[in-house]
Amino acid sequence: MEQEKINLFLSKLAGIADNVNHYLDKWLPQNEEDYSANLNEAMRYSVMAGGKRIRPALTVLVAEGLGFKGEAVYRAGCAYELFHSASLIHDDLPCMDDDDLRRGKPTSHKVFGEATAVLAGDSLMLMPYEWFGKLAEYGVSYEKIVKIMNIANEAFTYRGVIGGQMLDLKYENKKIDQETLERIHMGKTAALLGAPILTGAVLADANEEELDCLKIYSKKIGLLFQIIDDILDIESDAATLGKNIGRDVALGKSTYPALLGLEGAKDYAKKTYEEAISAIKPLSERLSDLESLALYLLKRKS
């Protein structure tokens, strides 16, 4: 029953991801169309590298669940995928996490050089606002566009993803308490799940109470995602390497199992899941997909 619900949700998600890939390919600047060809090539390389497209999918699931359909939903949702790719390009830079591979492919700075990677990230961070501006072409009101711009900005900048990344660097290899850990995850993960959800809701004319429910839900699933990530990290290492310690723990990163113990972390995940479900109770008929998403995040094995 639960697994069936999850499978249905995942197959819906895959269908949306196909559409997202189609639109991203269509809307990203062509390599040949513009004088900034290297830049366009580097932007495409990272954005088209795949992934579940969960962020744009959230905009689609929420907007469509609340009764608003059409290309505008994809235009707004895909903007978050641009930003997500941008933040990964910068995170992978030698001066940040110094990663050579991302989804099995060489990272941007490995392929195009560091300077181009910095610029491709910059450009992809800014392009969401171009795409939000284009919502007017679909008849989305200027008021809604400004609302979406504000939602996105709060998720992106020093109050969101960039702030979370800064905090993460600051506390690297340092012991931190649960409050600080949660602030990092709110910035690095939850902010960029919440913004696409709220964007879908704004497109579909959600009222303030509905937006408040969705804000709480977003924070809870961001947290849930991270707790489970920490747990899987430990359990998969234990299973595959026969040792009882996770990579993050070994790297000196603070994790929920390290803070709460493995069982404590599992209880915390369950509690967080229940809080997510409870937050969107008033919307559960129209947004049952969000219930499935929370269930999937709780039960996932990888």
How far apart are the C-alpha atoms of 226 and 255, rounded to whole Å?
A: 9
Q: Which of 126, 241, 250, 251 binds a copy of itself (CB under 8 A)?
A: 126
**Helices and strands, number each (H, E), in the chain:** 15, 2
CA distance 119 to 141: 32
Report, in Å, the least distance between residue 142 CB and a copy of itself.
4
Size of interface with a copy of itself, in residues (CB under 8 A):
51
> Tokens at residue 277, please?
């479900």
Q: Cα(188)–Cα(223) distance, rounded to whole angstroms? A: 10
31 sits near a copy of itself (criterion: CB under 8 A): no
205 contacts a copy of itself (rule: CB under 8 A): no
Q: Does 165 bind a copy of itself (CB under 8 A)?
A: yes
Contact status: 130 vs a copy of itself (CB under 8 A): yes
Give the count of beta carbons closer than 10 Å to the beta carbon of residue 209. 10
Contacts (Cβ under 8 Å, ≥6 apart) of 244 = 234, 237, 238
Crossing angle for the helix pair 37-47 and 114-133, nearest 10 degrees?
80
Give yes or no for residue 75 binding a copy of itself (CB under 8 A). Answer: no
Exactly one of 10, 31, 38, 232 binds a copy of itself (CB under 8 A); that residue is: 38
Both structure tokens of 183:
């602030």
Contact 9, 299 (CB under 8 A): no
100 binds a copy of itself (CB under 8 A): no
Site for a copy of itself in 243-282 (CB under 8 A): none
Pick one of 60, 62, 72, 127: the residue that binds a copy of itself (CB under 8 A).
127
101 forms part of the interface with a copy of itself (CB under 8 A): no
* Rounded-to-10 torsion of CA 224, 199, 16, 33: -120
Q: Please write down the HEC assignment for all residues of 199-255.
A: HHHHHCCCCHHHHHHHHHHHHHHHHHHHHHHHHHHHHHHHHHHCCCCCHHHHCCCCC
Residues 217 and 82 sit within 8 Å (Cβ to Cβ) = no
Question: Residue 40 or 218: which CB sits closer to a copy of itself?
Answer: 40
Rule CB under 8 A: is residue 115 a binding residue for a copy of itself? yes
Minimum distance from residue 38 beta carbon to a copy of itself (Å): 6
Name the residue nearer to a copy of itself (CB basis): 32 or 263.
32
Q: From the list 61, 162, 192, 277, which residue makes contact with a copy of itself (rule: CB under 8 A)? A: 162
Considering the complex, state which of residue 99 and residue 122 has its C-beta at the smaller distance from a copy of itself: 122
Instruction: Check residue 48 for interaction with a copy of itself (CB under 8 A).
Output: no
Binding residues vs a copy of itself (CB under 8 A): 29, 34-36, 38-40, 43, 90, 93, 95-96, 113-116, 118-119, 121-123, 125-127, 129-130, 132-133, 136, 141-143, 145-146, 149-150, 152-154, 156-159, 162-163, 165-167, 169-170, 183
